């Protein structure tokens, strides 16, 4: 338990991010009069289109100048890579990004536009981590993990910090789960500031490794072929990280799953009813509220984190049609 990220660490990260990240608002999702309120926190409004800038900037900005100056490397399915590229450009250092060849083109192009170098690998956790580690060792780059790192978790935790500051009586917070960095930080912040609030993780049913891990009390991996079935490309990580799993066990109340059609339907409703563009991964938390209310804790106020909006234009057009 002593290794868990603390509220003080999250508050320190918030200080580093002041003036860098957007303090995203809580946007009402239209509800019938007799329903509890649903507020959406659109991290799609960040400069890189996703929450990942919080963790990447908090980590890279904390590095000693000589270490940062040697360049950074990471592995990512897209949004974390873009956040690392954005931060590296801000500090004027080299960024090398190891990305699955299945990453949507819109995310790869955005990384290259920021001046980063992209190295393609097979879409497995092993290929990503091994390649990034080899590049770090060969060139002296500093590794910026996508989720299994306390500095990254603290940065992502600023999302939870803002939620409670803006809605002190929040009852339930719904959070997408991929590698687990976002929900780890959010849960740490929410539980420290409002212990009675419930934090619920949300995954696609085609990539429910975190649900299985929490249920079985041990880390459970899914094959890349299984997680690759979901439209939510940012949630295809095969298992949560070691440190995030400890946060899940300590702070997360439950995990629910959503179907592919529920994700698509929620993307449509977010666009039409709140004017917010969500990539598939960004829609899952709202989908849990819209389609699985009976599985959620009761409460007067719900917040769903819209984690990102970097959706391929062709896919978005297809979904909206």
Residue 52 appears among annotated catalytic residues: yes
Token readout for 82 is 């873009």
Assess contact for 68 and 91: CB atoms under 8 A.
yes
Determine which one of 44, 178, 184, 307 is catalytic: 307
Q: If you write DSSP's letter for every residue of 40-67 in order, what string do you get?
A: EEEGGGSTTSBTHHHHHHHHHHTS-HHH
Q: From CA 236, how far away is CA 228, in angstroms rounded?
A: 6
Query: Among 122, 5, 111, which residue's Cα sits nearest to residue 59?
Result: 5
- Tell how far CA 8 is from the center of its chain: 21
Q: From CA 6, how far away is CA 193, in angstroms rounded?
A: 11
Assess contact for 93 and 61: CB atoms under 8 A.
no
Size of the chain in residues? 321
Token readout for 92 is 């004027």
Assess contact for 251 and 216: CB atoms under 8 A.
no
In SS3 terms, 125-175 reads as HHHHHHHHHHHHHHHCCEECCCCCCHHHHHHHHHHHHHHHHHCCCCCEEEE
Q: Where are the alpha helices (DSSP H) in the chain?
A: 7-17, 52-61, 65-69, 79-91, 105-113, 125-139, 150-166, 181-193, 209-216, 224-227, 242-251, 260-269, 280-291, 313-320
Residue 301 appears among annotated catalytic residues: no
Query: Among 169, 163, 153, which residue's Cα sits nearest to residue 59?
Result: 153
Determine which one of 41, 52, 107, 191 is catalytic: 52
Report helix, strand or coil for 303.
strand
Enumerate the active-site residues: 52, 307
């Amino acid at each position: 338990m002593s290794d868990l990220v603390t509220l003080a660490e999250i508050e320190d990260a918030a200080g580093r991010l002041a003036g860098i990240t957007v303090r995203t608002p809580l946007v009402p999702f239209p509800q019938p009069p007799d329903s509890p309120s649903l507020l959406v926190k659109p991290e799609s409004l960040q400069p890189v289109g996703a929450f990942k800038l919080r963790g990447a900037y908090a980590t890279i900005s904390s590095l000693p100048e000589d270490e940062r100056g040697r360049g950074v490397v990471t592995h990512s399915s897209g949004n974390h890579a873009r956040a690392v590229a954005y931060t590296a450009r801000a500090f004027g250092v080299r960024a090398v990004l190891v990305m699955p060849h299945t990453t949507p083109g819109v995310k790869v192009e955005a990384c290259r536009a920021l001046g980063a170098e992209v190295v393609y690998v097979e879409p497995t956790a092993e290929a990503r981590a091994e390649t990034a580690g080899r590049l770090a060792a060969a060139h002296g780059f500093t590794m910026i993990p996508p989720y299994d790192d306390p500095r990254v978790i603290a940065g992502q935790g600023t999302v939870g910090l803002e939620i409670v500051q803006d809605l002190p009586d929040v009852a339930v917070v719904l959070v997408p789960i991929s590698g687990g960095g976002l929900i780890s930080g959010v849960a740490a912040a929410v539980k420290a500031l409002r212990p009675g609030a419930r934090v619920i993780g949300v995954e696609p049913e085609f990539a429910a490794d975190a649900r299985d891990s929490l249920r079985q009390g041990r880390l459970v991996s899914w094959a890349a072929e299984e997680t690759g079935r979901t439209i939510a490309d940012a949630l295809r990580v095969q298992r949560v990280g070691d440190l995030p799993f400890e946060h899940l066990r300590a702070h997360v109340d439950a995990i629910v799953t959503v179907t592919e059609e529920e994700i698509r339907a929620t993307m449509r409703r977010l666009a039409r009813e709140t004017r917010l563009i969500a990539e598939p991964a960004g829609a899952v938390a709202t989908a849990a509220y819209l389609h699985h209310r009976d599985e959620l804790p009761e409460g007067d106020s719900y917040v769903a984190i819209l984690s990102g909006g970097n959706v391929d234009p062709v896919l978005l057009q297809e979904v909206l049609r």
